[in-house]
């Protein structure tokens, strides 16, 4: 076989011309020891904290967790039993990212975004860093828009606003998860994207929660991030950050989101386990010194983002922020409303709100206490970070008061700002907390067997009925207008003649009566969102008319 020299020369010339000059430069290290989900690696001198590290033989990835003088400790995000001493590891130059987007809605994923529901792969091109900076003060606006939970005891006395962080705290088996799930169910039709993060829960419980969401039609707008108690500690530690990143994608698209962390006490325990394995100094209750930062940097990402406005027009000579749009018009912004109005007034131009501004992320972290000890380390940390807490009392739960919300120490630092005018009315929730507090005192006084005057006895009897009104079954969230009507009826004395045991039946029949026979009153309340004098009279008449129709 003969070779033609000119062909060989042309091939060599082409190869030389196409030779790439770029070089793939990465640091490479060796595994010194591995065990309990942690690998100690020598040789990665330039690795960053939180950077992804790849084990080349297996393809398993890890996260640089502890930077030491002569080595780096990496938490392994996969099967650490496949990693062997002496394996090669190299840096990637990337931070840990998770897939985000509409494709995740209705799915159950692990903290790395891999599907675990058996419904096939999740196809999305969008990703977000698991850790990101929280919005600054200038990028936020005050929390004023209500996020209805559908639970009377909460919406009336410890209301939650969009962008708020409200802690749900109590002993095990007191209904913490039930409140969170009812809140998710109450978002049906409200345009709120929900993310439920199961951290350290039993796999059977997570499966039941997913089934409850599916059965009630809530999985259509919910993402479930599952990290069960059987998963390694690194995944349990990362799960809340993954859920937050998935919700942030929608928040920065201008949508409202709700994230439930169930629960952060188990995440703190996983973080303690990792920290002790890499020999970080233990502090109070053996938690590392930065466990507060672990939770604060997570919860500070929840916010109600400020609305941004642009000015649309043509005459913007000399304005440095002006940019030309594809439609031939000139845009100035984004700006806050006051600034935009000021410029537009001088120029005679039009102000338009940006569609991707004004989103929110509401956080409902859950903390489990031991024997009601709210002064323990993790509970006090999270209480100080959040904007209020809903405290569940075991004694109330076991006496049949469910949800078992302790009115005395449950607070919302947003308060009436997160309520509609009808709910804030003094005839509805305005004096409800005080009424219940006085009732508890009178109840304790009456147990002494003391003779009570007629007015005190009447106040005590009404208190018993108000407690019954605030009881609510799980998976039955109420529309806020229905809540207003039933609490108004209780406060105005509409149930004074109804036996306490029949209060629940009275409530159900009354709400049906208002929908079927008095729709004009209910519709007026839906439209007005406040109780005017005229509407108050119509409500009083409706309650009076219903008394003759009530069937015990």
Q: Which domain holds residue 475?
A: 420-547
Here the tokens at position 299 are 């919860």
Q: Does pLDDT of 86 surpass 90?
A: yes
**Within its chain, how far is the Cα of 339 from the centroid?**
32
Query: If you count them, how many residues does the chain have?
Result: 552
Return the closest-CA partner of residue 80 out of 199, 275, 238, 235: 235
Provide the pLDDT for residue 400: 92
Same domain? 294 vs 273: yes
Q: Between these two residues, 11 and 401, which has the higher pLDDT value?
A: 401
Return the closest-CA partner of residue 307 out of 254, 260, 264, 248: 254
Active-site residue numbers? 413
The overall average pLDDT reported for the chain is: 90
Strand partners, 197: 225, 261
Same domain? 276 vs 316: no
CA separation, residue 181 to residues 167, 232, 346, 446 (Å): 14, 25, 50, 37
Q: Does pLDDT of 22 surpass 60?
A: no
Provide the pLDDT for residue 329: 66
Name which of 16-20, 101-105, 368-372, 438-442 the model is least confident about: 16-20
Same domain? 460 vs 542: yes
The answer to whether 210 and 194 have CB atoms below 8 angstroms apart is no
Provide the pLDDT for residue 384: 96
User: What's the whole-model pTM score?
Assistant: 0.90
Residue 442's CATH number: 1.20.150.20
Same domain? 92 vs 230: no
CA atoms within 13 A on the CB side of 7: 3
For the ranges 284-293, 302-311, 320-329, the one whose mean pLDDT is highest: 284-293
Same domain? 436 vs 413: no
How many separate domains does the chain show?
A: 4
Residue 101 domain-assigned (yes or no): no
The neighbour count for residue 545, using CB atoms within 10 Å, is: 12
Same domain? 160 vs 284: yes
User: Confidence band (pLDDT; 50, 70, 90) for 393?
Assistant: very high
Tell me if residue 279 falls in helix, strand or coil.
coil
Rg (CA), the chain: 29
Residue-wise burial string across 436-449, b where 16 or more C-beta atoms lie within 10 A, e elsewhere: beebeebeeeeeee
For the ranges 23-32, 290-299, 317-326, the one whose mean pLDDT is highest: 290-299
Name which of 1-10, 68-77, 406-415 the model is least confident about: 1-10
Here the tokens at position 309 are 């406005």
User: Confidence band (pLDDT; 50, 70, 90) for 9?
Assistant: confident
Last residue of a domain, one of 379, 402, 417: 417
Q: Which long-range contacts (CB under 8 A, 24 or more apart) does 511-514 make?
A: 511/482, 511/485, 511/486, 513/542, 513/546, 513/549, 514/482, 514/485, 514/542
Tell me if residue 360 falls in helix, strand or coil.
strand
Same domain? 392 vs 448: no
Distance from C-alpha of 454 to C-alpha of 420, rounded to nearest angstrom: 35
Average pLDDT over residues 28-43: 93
Residue 165 burial (CB < 10 Å; 0-12/13-18/19+)? buried
Residue 130 domain-assigned (yes or no): no
Same domain? 264 vs 321: no
Same domain? 404 vs 455: no
Q: Does pLDDT of 21 surpass 60?
A: no
- What beta strand segments (E) does 408-469 contain? 411-412
Residue 4 domain-assigned (yes or no): no
Provide the pLDDT for residue 321: 55
Residue 84's CATH number: 2.40.30.20
pLDDT digits 0-9 by tens, 176-220: 999 999 999 999 999 999 999 999 999 999 999 999 999 999 999
């Amino acid at each position: 076989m003969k070779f033609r020299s000119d062909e060989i020369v042309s091939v060599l010339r082409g190869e030389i011309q196409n030779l790439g000059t770029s070089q793939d430069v990465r640091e490479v290290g060796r595994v010194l020891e591995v065990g309990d989900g942690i690998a100690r690696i020598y040789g990665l001198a330039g690795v960053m904290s939180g950077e992804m590290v790849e084990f080349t033989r297996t393809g398993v990835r890890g996260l640089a967790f502890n930077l030491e003088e002569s080595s780096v400790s990496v938490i392994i995000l996969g099967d650490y039993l496949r990693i062997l001493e002496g394996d090669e590891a190299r840096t990637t130059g990337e931070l840990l990212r998770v897939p985000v987007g509409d494709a995740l809605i209705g799915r159950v994923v692990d903290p790395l975004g891999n599907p675990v529901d058996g419904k096939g792969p999740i196809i999305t091109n969008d990703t977000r860093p698991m850790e990101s900076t929280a919005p600054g003060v200038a990028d936020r606006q005050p929390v004023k828009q209500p996020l209805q939970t559908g639970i009377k005891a909460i919406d009336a006395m410890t209301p939650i606003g969009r962008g708020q962080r409200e802690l749900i705290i109590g002993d095990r088996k007191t209904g913490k998860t039930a409140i969170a799930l009812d809140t998710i169910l109450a978002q049906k039709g409200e345009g709120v994207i929900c993310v439920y993060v199961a951290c350290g829960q039993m796999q059977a419980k997570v499966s039941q929660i997913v089934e409850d969401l599916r059965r009630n039609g809530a999985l259509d707008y919910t993402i479930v991030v599952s990290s069960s108690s059987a998963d390694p500690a690194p995944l349990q530690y990362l799960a809340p950050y993954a859920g937050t990143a998935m919700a942030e994608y929608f928040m920065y698209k201008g949508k409202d989101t709700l994230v439930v962390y169930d629960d952060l006490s188990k995440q703190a325990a996983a973080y303690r386990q990792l920290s002790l394995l890499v020999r970080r100094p233990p502090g109070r209750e053996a938690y590392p010194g930065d466990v507060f930062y672990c939770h604060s940097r997570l919860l500070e990402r929840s916010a109600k983002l400020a609305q941004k406005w642009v000015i649309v027009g043509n005459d913007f000579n000399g304005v440095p922020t002006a940019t030309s749009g594809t439609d031939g018009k000139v845009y100035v912004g984004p700006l806050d409303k006051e600034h935009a109005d000021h410029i537009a007034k001088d120029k005679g131009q039009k102000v338009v709100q940006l569609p991707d501004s004004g989103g929110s992320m509401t956080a409902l972290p859950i903390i489990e206490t031991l024997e009601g000890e709210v002064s323990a380390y993790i509970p006090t940390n999270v209480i100080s970070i959040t904007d209020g807490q809903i405290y569940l009392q075991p004694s109330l739960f076991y006496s049949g008061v469910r949800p078992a919300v302790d009115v005395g120490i449950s607070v919302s630092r947003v308060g009436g700002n997160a309520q509609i005018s009808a709910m804030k009315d003094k005839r509805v929730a305005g004096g409800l907390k005080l009424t219940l507090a006085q009732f508890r005192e009178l109840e304790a006084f009456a147990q002494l067997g003391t003779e009570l005057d007629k007015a005190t006895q009447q106040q005590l009897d009404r208190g018993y009925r108000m407690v019954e009104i605030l009881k609510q079954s799980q998976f039955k969230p109420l529309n806020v207008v229905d809540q207003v009507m039933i609490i108004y009826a209780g406060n105005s004395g509409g149930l004074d003649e109804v036996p306490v045991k029949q209060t629940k039946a009275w409530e159900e029949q009354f709400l049906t009566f208002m929908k079927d026979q008095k729709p004009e009153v209910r519709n007026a309340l839906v439209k007005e969102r406040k109780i005017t004098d005229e509407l108050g009279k119509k409500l009083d008449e409706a309650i009076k008319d219903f008394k003759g129709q009530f069937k015990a």
